[in-house]
Amino acid sequence: MKHRISFVILLAVIASVQAQAKGFLSREQPSAAQAAPITLRTCEGPITRVVDTGYEGVKTTSFNWSSTAGGGESGRFDKTPVLSTTVKLDAGTCIDAHFSALVGSKQTYGTAAITMFQVTLSPLPAGAPHHPMVAHYRMPYGSYGPAVAFEAERDVDMFAANFFQRVGTAPGDIPPGAYRVDVWWSGGPVGGGGAIGAAFVLKLYLRQ
């Protein structure tokens, strides 16, 4: 068991070194088995409902994006989502998501320099695959693991991001039905460590 743990730690260190060499943005693309081809996506329509979910307290995670033993699409995030809610989506509609949070810095809190986030839709009942909404970068540091990322400069900074998803049968769409919406997070691969944050808010806009 000791050798196995040492091997896992070694892999995490190697991944961290590789990440530092590559940087977040990469020209590499995921394989066809991992994701659909990247195309221009659009979504429009009047807003018919708004769903808000929030947690104002402090949360921490020790999970690092270098590992694939966690939650979310690709397993690179803490197994416990930061925020979760459920929605029912009809065919021919769209859903928009706005997520924001206060993110703590490595300088003040000793976390990873970068904090990674992912917002997914998962068909209910639970256990179905996670589907990242449109607006994630698919190949951070040259490895598949759809995410958005943020680096707080000193103490804390406010992070905010927008996502959307069309419901239907066209390429890139998701089928109608009941879904769980999850916000996942982890510390970035550079420098090790996890993440700390507070005042998490997920605002969902459902469109006709």
What is the CATH classification number for the domain harbouring 113?
Answer: 2.60.120.40
Is 34 within a domain? no
Q: Which two tokens stand for residue 188?
A: 């970035």
Is 123 within a domain? yes
Is 189 within a domain? yes
| Contact criterion met (CB below 8 Å) for 201 and 195 | no
Coil, strand or helix at 94: strand
Is 31 within a domain? no
Is 106 within a domain? yes
| Contact criterion met (CB below 8 Å) for 188 and 98 | no
| Contact criterion met (CB below 8 Å) for 159 and 101 | yes
- Return the pLDDT at 13: 46
Mean pLDDT of all residues in 16-40: 64
d(CA 52, CA 173): 23
Residue 121 belongs to what domain range? Answer: 2-26+44-207
How do residues 166-200 score in pLDDT, each as one tens digit? 999 998 899 999 999 999 999 999 778 899 999 99
Cα–Cα distances in angstroms (integers) from residue 162 to residues 6, 11, 96, 99, 165, in the given order: 39, 33, 7, 7, 11
* CA count, 13 A, side-chain hemisphere, 189: 26
Is 32 within a domain? no
How do residues 32-69 score in pLDDT, each as one tens digit? 555 566 677 888 889 999 999 999 999 999 999 999 99
pLDDT category of residue 31 using cuts at 50, 70 and 90: low
Count of domains for the chain: 1
pTM: 0.85
d(CA 133, CA 14): 29
